[in-house]
Structures are given as structure tokens and as C-alpha cells.
Structure 1
Amino acid sequence: MAGILAWFWNERFWLPHNVTWADLQSTEEASFPQAEDLYLAFPLAFCIFMIRLLFERFIAKPCALGLKVQANGPQKAQPNAILEKVFTAITKHPDEKRLEGLSKQLDWDVRSIQRWFRQRRNQEKPSTLTKFCESMWRFTFYLYIFTYGVRFLKKTPWLWNTRQCWNGYPYQPLMPDLHYYYIVELSFYWSLMFSQFIDIKRKAAKMANYCKYQKLSDLLFLTFAIVFIVSRLGIYPLWILNTTLFELYEALGNFPALWVFNVLLVVLQILHCFWSYLIIKAAYKAISKGKSGKWNPLHVAKDDRSDIESSSDEEETVPRSKTPHSTITTNGTGGANGTNGYITGGTCSEEH
């Protein structure tokens, strides 16, 4: 293990020429960043996750209920043993051939079976209340850390002159405010690593949508689009990439870690371009598909980056028989419940 750590923390990879880790040991006069500081993120990530659970339970949920956000989940599919077995053991998205087979087996029309599978898939999706609570947590944290970061940057000399970032580097004492900012950010994203398997991944603008405030939701989306494009395609390359690619090289010369980090930053910029394309595409749809066919900047189409909301798949369904006003069984028995493929008194109705 000692050999692996020594290889990983090789000074010639991480540090400029003629700089060693011993030079960066903290003293009474100055405190420098230490690799051991990264270990603080793990217990703090657990604390942040617990704070999130308390926040969603005692703050976000009451707010959601006060705003009349629906607490119930998607409509449940009518119990059916045969379809349930196919859904759980074979496929959640049956192809045309399987649909035809199920139609003959159950004596249902294909569209009713498709609707049942749609409802059954939606049944596993979280409720609007759950999605609102997660969105509110992320919105609250991002708002807090953004505000904190802006307050800190206002006091720094490198906000408008990025060359000042590298004055004396790497012999730059670690300021407590900066240390706190990075550790909290790192801990938050570690907490997301733990919770990513249960997260629903919704944005803050979704909160307005869940509350049925459509105009506010549209306005927030357009605001987000403008801020994202300006910051990712303007500020990021002109401030961040410019200083890390050129100004840092001029100040310190060449060393391996510099280029590794710059490659990662350039890859991030490529992703920014791709994401901006998707946002512009969504905004274009918003403008071109106004409710009345007229230009309407507040009518936002579905965000192409998001998955389909559960409500989009929900339809009022009661599987209908091919034969109206009849009693149908799939197991050769009669009864009064709707399980095991049994339907009583199914009446066909026109679908709207």
C-alpha cells in the first residue's frame, strides 16, 4: 500500500519543477492544502445525506403540501396475473408479436394491453410529491453554495484578473473560507454518489411545474437557458480555460498534472457545447410551438435532456374485451375479482 501511495503521489507528476511535498507542509505561520483534507469529505457526505432526509421530511414536504402538490403516485394498473408475470419476468416493453399473443390469450384488444403496460411502468415511478422534495433540496443547496461562493469571490483579487490566481503558486496559504467551500462541495457530490440509485434527478424549474405554475416554470427554464449558455460558452472558456491553458503555463512552465487537468477541462467544454445545443433545441421548440401557433417565449416545450414525466404516460384505462357486454375468463373459471386474468362484465367503450 505504501508503494502504491508513493507512486500515486509522485511529486514530479503533481507539482512544478523544484517543488516537493515537504515544501507544502503546514506551519504555524501558514496552512497549506493537504491530501488528508480529502478524507474529511466522507463523514461529512454522510452528514449531508442525513440533513437532506430531514430537510425533505420536515421542510420540503410541508412546503409541497402547502402548494397543493399531488401526494399520490401514478394510477395503478388493474391487477392481472398473466400480464404481471410477463412484466416482471420477461419484458416491460412487449413487442408487437408478444402483444398479439397476449391479445389472443386474454381476449383483450392490443391497445388495452399496451395501456396496461404503460400504467404498470408508471406505477413504479415516484409521486410528484417525492420529485418536488428532491428538487427543493437540490435547489436549496445550490442556492446556498452559489451565494457563499459569490460572497467569497467578491473579496478576492483574482476575480477580474485571473493571472493573480498563480501568484506564488503553489506556495499559497489555504484560506478557511476556501477550504470550507471545497470540502462542502466535495462532500455534497460524494453524498450524491451514495444516493444516485434512488435519486429522481429533477431540476429546480420542475418545482414550479409540479405546482402547476406553468408561466413561472417556462420563465425559469428560459432564465436557466440564458445563464447556462452565457456562463458555459462565455465565462468558462474566456476566464477559466484561458487562465489554465495559457496563463498557468506562462507562470509555472510544463508539468504532467497541468495537462491532465486541462484535458479534463476541455472535455467539459465539449460537453457544455453539446448540452447547450440541447437547450437551444428545446428553446426553439418553445418558440415555434406556441399554444396558438404564434410566437410565445413563455411556452416551453419539453426539455430534451429530461426523461418523460410519469403523467405523460398515464391514461384512464380499464382493459376492454373484444366482445362487448360479456363475461370473460382466461382460466376457465368464474368469479368476482379481477385477478388471474378474470374480468367480469367488461363493456367496450369508444376511446377518446
Structure 2
Amino acid sequence: MVVRQFLDWFWNPDVWLPPGFDWKDIVPTEEVKYAVPYDLLYAIPIGIGMVFVRYFLERTLFYPLGHLLGIKEQKKLRILPANPTLEKAFTGKGKKAKLFTHKELEELGKKTDLQVRQVERWMRRRAAQGKPTTLAKFSESCWRFLCYLISFLIGVYVLWDKPWLWDILHCWYDYPHHSVTTDIWWYYVYGSSFYWSLLITLAYDAKRKDFWEMSLHHVATLCLLAFSWTCNLTRVGTLVLLLHDFVEPWLEGSKLCKYSKHNGIGDVVSIMFILAWIATRITLFPMHIINSTLFEAPKIIPMFSAYYIFNGMLILLFCLHVFWTYFIAIYVYNALSMNATELKDTRSSSEYVTEPSEEEEGSEFDGKHSGRSTPKGGITRRGLFYEKKQFT
């Protein structure tokens, strides 16, 4: 009885549908198919299945492709000697674990009876533990590139003959009596499944500065798909999917070129990504889609509660786009001002780590040293930890 009352309250048509409409008005029949809210639950097991498909493709296709392109698997680091004092100092730094001054390293050396160079290399190897290799990041980008490309091609195929692709006002004409064809159904399920798989694997992928923003993006996208599906706003939902999917293959393609050292092609792909981002995420998305949902739709259909939530999610996505545009601006600034030949993803926290060389991986903690001294102003040319005043 309580469950029934809760479901009646939750599925109140006054919230989910325009005034004057009830769920019985959009019940699927043999002639007309409408969106059924619970259908998107299929996306969860399919998303879990996509995680296993990714794992299979990584081992059988993406890793061998990376090796073929000259990306080597990182040499396995030797077991790091246990040192509670250094471990406490490392974890105490938190996100600033790379910023040890020369004085701090000297103090740690005195506490542990190690030379400054030994302390520095212990810290570097500690920072390198658990960091994804270039081959792992290459494999991750291969998977994303493949899935986003497939999603975009499906979207083009499905929407090419749909009138709302060419005239967005068709998203509002005769609403909510918008039938959902089989191709639209699968387009939604595929998109939802892919974002579920991304959300599941987010904790295991390469960590980036925008981890929480990316998590929020995936959750917002899934909620947006669920809301548009439940409210039968599938037409505008497919436009949002298509617009977003157009950009991602360029982004992942630029990463693939970077990881495989094809910098010339990577520069071209990066330029294409930036142009696509500006054209779609910063221009078309707010000026075409959000403008239509905020200002054109109210002239054609009456507003209702769930629609305001839907608009709020669209605006949230746009705010995230503006946030990521900041990182793109940094990338462009570095390219123009520094004339860098190899630019990194400014969102990636894993790019900071300088892996120990083969020479450095020798008997580092057995008292055998190369004899090279450590400059007081910083910690060697290859060192990861440095004093901030060097760069000010």
C-alpha cells in the first residue's frame, strides 16, 4: 500500500506531463510506440556488458595496436622499500606531493639516514606507483574513440530523415504525441549504456584534475536522457546526444596521436577538436538547443515541472562546457606562447610524474650512488620535486 502511494505520488502526471495530459494519453499501442520509462533500465546491464567488452578489446586489439605504433609497456618498478617516515611525509602533502623543497628533503634525509638524492627518488617512485602507463591511456582513448564514433554515426543514420534535425520546432509540434521508433529506442539505449559504462570505469581510468566535474557530467547526462525519455522529449534529447558525440572523437583522436608520438597529425586533429568544440558546445548548444527549449518551446507548448528540471540540466551541461573551455584556452595559450612541440592534456594529473630511468632504478637504496650532486636550488634536472621559487 505504501509503495503504491509512493509510485502514484512520484509518477504524478501534473509533474511529468503538460497540463491536461495523462499517462494514458501516451500509452504504446500496436500502431504507435511511445517511450516507456522503465525501458532505460535495460541500459544498466548493457553498460556493465560494455565494460567487459572494453576489457576484451583492450587485451586483444588496443594494446597490440599500441605496441605496433611503438608505445612500450612501462618497465615494472621495483618494490619500493618500506619507510614509514617518508610515507607519512608523502601522504601529508596530498595533492601537492610533488612540491618538496630542498630543505624538506634534507630534513627527511636526516630523519631516515638517507641522502637527499635517495629521498627524492623514493618520493618519485612512490608517486609513480599506481599511475597509468601511456599504453593504458592509449587503450582508454581507443575505447572512447570507438564508442563515440559509433554513437555519432548511429545518430546521423537515425536522425538524417527526421524533420527535427533540420527544424528544431518539430521537437515541440504536437507534443507529447511523439512516437518512438525502433531506431530512436536503440539510439537512446546505446547512449545511456555507454555513459553507464563510463561512470562505472571512471574510478579506474587515468585520474584527471576534473574528476568530479567529469563524474557530474556523466550523471547529468544520464539524468538528462532519463528525463527526456520519461517526459517523451526524445526529439530534443537525440539532438543533444548527436551534438555532443560529434566533438568527442576529435578529442580522443588527438590523444591517440599524442600517445603514439604522431605530433604532426595530432596538431591537425587538435585544431579540428577545438573548432568542433567551439562550433557545437559553445555556439550551437546554447544558441540553438537551449535557446529553443527556453524561448521557443513555451510559445508552442505549456510548461510543466519536469520540463524546468530538464532545462536546468541543459544549463548545467553548458556550465561544464564553459569550465572545460578554460582548459582548452590554456592548451591554445601554451601552443601559441611556448611553441611547444608536445602539449599535454591540461586536465590530466597523471602527466606530472617523471618515471625513474633505468639508471635510477639501480641499487638506489643500497648505498650505491652515481656520485652526482644535487643542486641546492632544486632537485636535479630530471627531478620531479622542486622549489617553487625557481619558477617565479
Same fold (TM over 0.5): yes
The Cα shift of 1:187 comes to: 0.9
Of stretches 193-202 and 35-44 in structure 1, the one that deviates more from structure 2 is 193-202
For residues 238 and 90 of structure 1, what CA distance do their matches in structure 2 show? Answer: 46
For residues 90 and 254 of structure 1, what CA distance do their matches in structure 2 show? Answer: 52
Contact kept, 8 Å, 2:85 with 2:112, in 1: the verdict is no
Aligned to 1:167: 173
Q: CA 1:80–1:248 in structure 2 vs 1: closer, same or farther (change >3 Å)?
A: same
Q: 2:372 aligns with which of 315, 336, 349?
A: 349
The Cα shift of 1:116 comes to: 2.1
Q: Which one has a bigger Cα radius of gyration?
A: 1
Of stretches 114-123 and 98-107 in structure 1, the one that deviates more from structure 2 is 98-107
Q: CA 1:76–1:60 in structure 2 vs 1: closer, same or farther (change >3 Å)?
A: same
Aligned to 1:280: 329
For residues 274 and 241 of structure 1, what CA distance do their matches in structure 2 show? Answer: 17
Partner-residue secondary structure (3-state), 1:158:
helix
Q: 1:289 aligns with which of 338, 345, 354?
A: 338
Q: CA 1:99–1:190 in structure 2 vs 1: closer, same or farther (change >3 Å)?
A: same
Q: CA 1:319–1:101 in structure 2 vs 1: closer, same or farther (change >3 Å)?
A: farther
Q: CA 1:315–1:58 in structure 2 vs 1: closer, same or farther (change >3 Å)?
A: closer
The Cα shift of 1:345 comes to: 4.0
The unaligned stretches of length 5 or more in structure 1 are: 292-298, 321-336
Aligned to 1:330: none
1:209 aligns with 2:232: no
1:183 aligns with 2:232: no
Q: CA 1:345–1:165 in structure 2 vs 1: closer, same or farther (change >3 Å)?
A: closer
Q: 2:354 aligns with which of 290, 309, 313?
A: 313
Q: CA 1:303–1:125 in structure 2 vs 1: closer, same or farther (change >3 Å)?
A: closer
The Cα shift of 1:140 comes to: 0.4
Contact kept, 8 Å, 1:218 with 1:300, in 2: the verdict is no
Aligned to 1:80: 81
The Cα shift of 1:83 comes to: 5.9
Amino acid at match of 2:142: M
The Cα shift of 1:318 comes to: 7.0
Partner-residue secondary structure (3-state), 1:173:
coil
Structure 2 matches for 1:36-185, cutoff 5 A?
36-73=38-75, 76=77, 79-82=80-83, 86=87, 91=92, 93=97, 99-185=105-191
Q: CA 1:197–1:278 in structure 2 vs 1: closer, same or farther (change >3 Å)?
A: closer
Aligned to 1:19: 21
Partner-residue secondary structure (3-state), 2:164:
coil
The Cα shift of 1:78 comes to: 7.0
Contact kept, 8 Å, 2:206 with 2:350, in 1: the verdict is no
Q: CA 1:78–1:112 in structure 2 vs 1: closer, same or farther (change >3 Å)?
A: farther
Instruction: Summarize deviations over 1:239-281 as a string: whole Å, max 9, x none.
Output: 2112211222111112111111112212222222222232123
Contact kept, 8 Å, 2:73 with 2:133, in 1: the verdict is yes
For residues 205 and 304 of structure 2, what CA distance do their matches in structure 1 show? Answer: 39
The Cα shift of 1:72 comes to: 2.1
Amino acid at match of 2:167: N
**Considering only aligned residues, what root-mean-square deviation do their CA atoms show, in Å?**
2.8
For residues 371 and 347 of structure 2, what CA distance do their matches in structure 1 show? Answer: 39
Q: TM-score, normalised by structure 1?
A: 0.83
The unaligned stretches of length 5 or more in structure 2 are: 209-251, 374-379, 382-392
Q: TM-score, normalised by structure 2?
A: 0.75
For residues 139 and 201 of structure 1, what CA distance do their matches in structure 2 show? Answer: 18
Amino acid at match of 1:2: R
The alignment-based identity, stated in percent, is 34
1:303 aligns with 2:338: no
For residues 39 and 11 of structure 1, what CA distance do their matches in structure 2 show? Answer: 21
Amino acid at match of 2:351: E
For residues 185 and 194 of structure 2, what CA distance do their matches in structure 1 show? Answer: 14
For residues 302 and 282 of structure 1, what CA distance do their matches in structure 2 show? Answer: 8
Higher helix share: 2
For residues 3 and 70 of structure 1, what CA distance do their matches in structure 2 show? Answer: 60
Q: CA 1:201–1:227 in structure 2 vs 1: closer, same or farther (change >3 Å)?
A: farther
For residues 28 and 229 of structure 1, what CA distance do their matches in structure 2 show? Answer: 43
Partner-residue secondary structure (3-state), 2:367:
strand
Contact kept, 8 Å, 2:344 with 2:351, in 1: the verdict is no
